[in-house]
Structure 1
Amino acid sequence: MTSGVSEKTSSSSSSLLRIRCNKRQGIALAAVVFMLFLSLFTFARPATGPCGGRTIRTFNEAVAFSRASSPQQQQQQQQQQQQYHQYRQDGGGPIFRNLNDLEATANAKDNQEHVLILTPLKNAASYLPRYFELLDSMSYPKHLISVAFLVSDTTDNTVELLQEQAHVFLNRWKDRYHDITIYQKDFSFELPEDKRHTFELQPLRRSYMARARNYLLTAALRDEHAWVLWLDVDLVEYPTTVLEDLQSVDVDVVVPNCLRETEDNSFWGYDKNNWQETDRSLEMQKDLDPEYVLLEGYYEFLTNRYLMVDMPTHHSKLEKVPLDGVGATFTLVKAHVHREGANFPAFVFQHQVETEGFAKMAKAMGYGVYGLPSYLIYHTMNG
């Protein structure tokens, strides 16, 4: 009797084991079929290509991609697939871009040359309305303008305001900008506002500013950009044709003369980093420690240089003079200067850092750096 029960129990266990095994095999088979189904979608889209497709790298992405799309998304996917099939039929392969054809010329507007505008920011919310008003008043075609921001160590709502304005500029049907990008990179550098222009802290402050500029430049520069414009957020006035005007000078680096905004319209220089070396300044540098950073506009150490804000302004607006140092309130650079390695040194380079170090570096590489003493733009009275 016991033996019979044992046989029945053994038989039942075997049946249950077979059922469980079959169930596991069924689940495994279903999982394999599901993954094969998803792989069709995963590999049907190219990793790169003219259609702008992207590689699906995770299971969640694959599931999200396989879900039903809206009619608009389906139409867009169909267009992308058509573009990709055409790309493959044309023998599509690696993307080829001939940089020999990328030029920055005096007739940039007519030649449809792209401009990248770069603006580093920190706690800049109060300046943004006027910044965007001036930016949008530029007569240069908006579809040829890309704008990129680097926000660092900010404690206000700068990022939110940038996102709101970018949405406006990128979604209007007329005069839409080519591209707007907002980067955030914190350097954990804190300096009291009332100390930001003190003489002793300038080398350190300028070194961090150089790092921010280099981050922004390397992140934002694309192969279509022929020009790079470094634009301060706190300018209050410049001509609508300023881009075309500065491009027409046709030099590697060019800056207008930046003055302070005053209530009585009196003449006060602002950007004192635009300057020429003199015999006295060069002679004085022979005895300086190589690591000493020279600064303009400070009574603690006079450099004996010729500042552009002290040059005559009654000549033609586009009459240029050679410079040895520049600021970055409004600095237009042919993009190949940056591409070939001229950036903003965060270390001491020929007694300079940041923007003036960039000018020294560009000149050392054989590029021309110029200023326009009679071309006036205006900066807010904030320092």
Structure 2
Amino acid sequence: MGPVRSLRRSNPLTIVVGVVLCIFIFVFLLSPSSADSAASKARSANAASNPLSPPTSPFRKQNEKANGKRKPPPVVHYKMNNVTSTADPVGNRETILILTPLARFYQEYWDNLLKLTYPHELITLAFMIPKNREGNAATLALQEQITKTQKTGPEKHRFASIIIERQDFEPPLSSQSEAERHKMENQKARRAAMSKARNSLLFTTLGPSTSWVLWLDSDIIETPATLIQDLAAHNKDIIVPNCFQRYTDSKSKDVKERAYDFNSWQDSDAARKLGEGMGPDDILLEGYAEMATYRTLMAYMYEEGADINTEVPLDGVGGTALLVKAEVHRDGAMFPPFPFYHLIETEGFARMAKRLGRAATGLPNYKVYHYNE
């Protein structure tokens, strides 16, 4: 074996180059990706400077005292004319507020949220959870997933901010099972409570920089990853996709689909006449044989293989997945917890928006999927 070459006889330049190369590799492996870095910078740029800032602005706690004195809260100017809601929300860096009334936590709902391709640093999530046993369980499960996503998850999955609120009133139903929720005799009380929850969530989270509000129910477990961009591309004041449900046929054992949300509809003369004969506190309900309205339901407008961008005008909308320009809510359109033209909650919202000159649009061939209990 030949003599071992002494380190002292090595070329000093070779050693220097080797050290520099090792440092470069070390830095490259530990540094965040350019996409993650850009997202992090965007969050820092949009961070609120004070706890009194709008809840949709992520707050980074800073030293509140200078020279031993508490800093006064800043005077902030918001130029509302600069807030846009356009067909190209990504290109215009428009902020999205996703609002979810959450009675039960479904892991599939959260997993689907993480798959949305809209830049997460432009998304704020907000939840309204009832104060009962099921609500407590949902809160714990939600917080666990938030911690995983916001603290240890990939930077691209992290949202600008997340807000959790608890209802200040008791839910009218003791059970949140699908069968109990859809009983006809429970609808007025249940949907009035849902309206209150939606309004509380909306009015406490809508910030001055919010461009779009996406109402997304906690049991919507499957949507296209481009849901926000797809709906916003139509540039409509209010737009709703068609909500379906997958199920296993009891006989063939095949996985099939069925229409789920019947609250998106076009009005009928029969429904109007029914309303004319009702008392001031009575409401019209859709999807029940006992109250035949003969409305044209978007749920049954779906055509296999047809254009997913086909639009239809609507008089009532469901709230399972509903994209609204923030300015519509700022104009005063909310979810009536009382009979409004004999309509309540999301259907009442569509009627109220129409009175404000804001039209609702449906996409019968664009589907999202509801959890099947």
Same fold, TM-score > 0.5, yes or no: yes
Name the SS of the counterpart of 2:233 in structure 1: helix
Contact 1:272 1:297 in 2 (8 A): yes
1:299 aligns with 2:289: yes
Choose from 166, 177, 181 the match for 2:146: 166
Structure (1 or 2) with the greater helix fraction: 1
Cα shift readout 1:248-282 (whole Å, capped 9, x = no counterpart): 01100001000111123434110000101023333
Mapped to 2, the partners of 1:291 and 1:54 lie a distance apart of 42
Deviates more, 1:192-201 or 1:141-150: 192-201
Aligned ranges for residues 77-96 of structure 1 at < 5 Å? 77=63, 94-96=75-77
1:351 to 342, 364, 373: 342
Q: What is the aligned partner in structure 2 of residue 187 from structure 1?
A: 169
Is 1:246 the counterpart of 2:228 in the alignment?
no
Query: What's the CA shift for 1:348?
Result: 0.4
Percent identity at matched positions?
39
SS of the equivalent of 2:348 reads helix
Residue 275 of structure 2 contacts residue 284 of structure 2 at CA under 8 Å; is this kept in 1? no
The more displaced of 196-205 and 143-152 is: 196-205
Distance in 1 separating the partners of 2:194 and 2:311: 27
The one-character-per-residue Cα deviations of 1:111-156 (angstroms, maximum 9, x if unpaired) are: 110000000112x13x1x1111000000100100000001113313
Bigger CA drift: 92-101 or 307-316? 92-101
Task: Give how far 1:173 is off.
Answer: 5.4
Describe the SS at the equivalent of 1:266. Answer: strand
Q: Which consecutive residues of structure 2, in runs of 5 or more, have no partner in the other structure?
A: 1-46, 53-60, 249-253
Residue aligning to 1:121:
102
Contact 1:170/1:180, CA 8 A, preserved across alignment? no
SS in 2 for 1:240: coil
Which TM-score applies when normalising by structure 1?
0.74
* Distance in 2 separating the partners of 1:301 and 1:54: 50
Query: For residue 245 of structure 2, what is the aligned residue in structure 1?
Result: 260
CA contact (8 A) 1:276 1:307 kept: yes
* Structure 1 unmatched ranges of 5 or more: 1-49, 56-72
Q: Residues 53, 178 of structure 1: CA spacing in aligned structure 2 closer, same or farther, 3 A cutoff? A: closer
85, 88, 98: which one pairs with 1:107?
A: 88
User: Normalising to structure 2: TM-score of the pair?
Assistant: 0.76
The answer on whether the counterparts of 1:207 and 1:347 sit within 8 Å (CA) in structure 2 is yes
The one-letter code matched in structure 2 to 1:147 is L
Describe the superposition over 1:205-262 as per-residue Cα deviations: whole angstroms up to 9, x where unpaired.
1101100111111111111210001101112321101110000011000010001111
- Is residue 2:213 matched to residue 1:228? yes
Q: How far did residue 318 of structure 1 move?
A: 1.1
For residues 208 and 53 of structure 1, do their structure 2 counterparts lie closer, same or farther at Cα, with a shift above 3 Å needed?
closer
- Alignment match, 1:272: 262
Q: Deviations over 1:273-321 (max 9, x none)?
A: 0101023333443333332201111111111111101114243111110
Given the alignment, which residue of 123, 132, 142 partners 2:120? 142
- Distance in 1 (CA, whole Å) between partners of 2:367 and 2:90 is 22
What is the letter of the counterpart of residue 325 of structure 2? K
Tell me the distance in 1 between the aligned counterparts of 2:48 and 2:218. Answer: 35
- After the TM superposition, which of the residue ranges 226-235 and 191-200 deviates more from structure 2? 191-200
Whole-Å separation in 2 of the counterparts to 1:98 and 1:218? 19
| 1:313–1:374 CA contact under 8 A, matched in 2 | yes
Decide which structure has the larger Cα Rg and report it: 1
Rounded to whole Å, the distance in 1 between the matches of 2:344 and 2:350 is: 10
Which residue, out of 40, 49, 54, partners 1:52?
49
Q: What's the offset of the Cα at 1:77?
A: 3.5
For residues 272 and 50 of structure 2, the distance between their equivalents in structure 1, rounded to whole angstroms, comes to 56
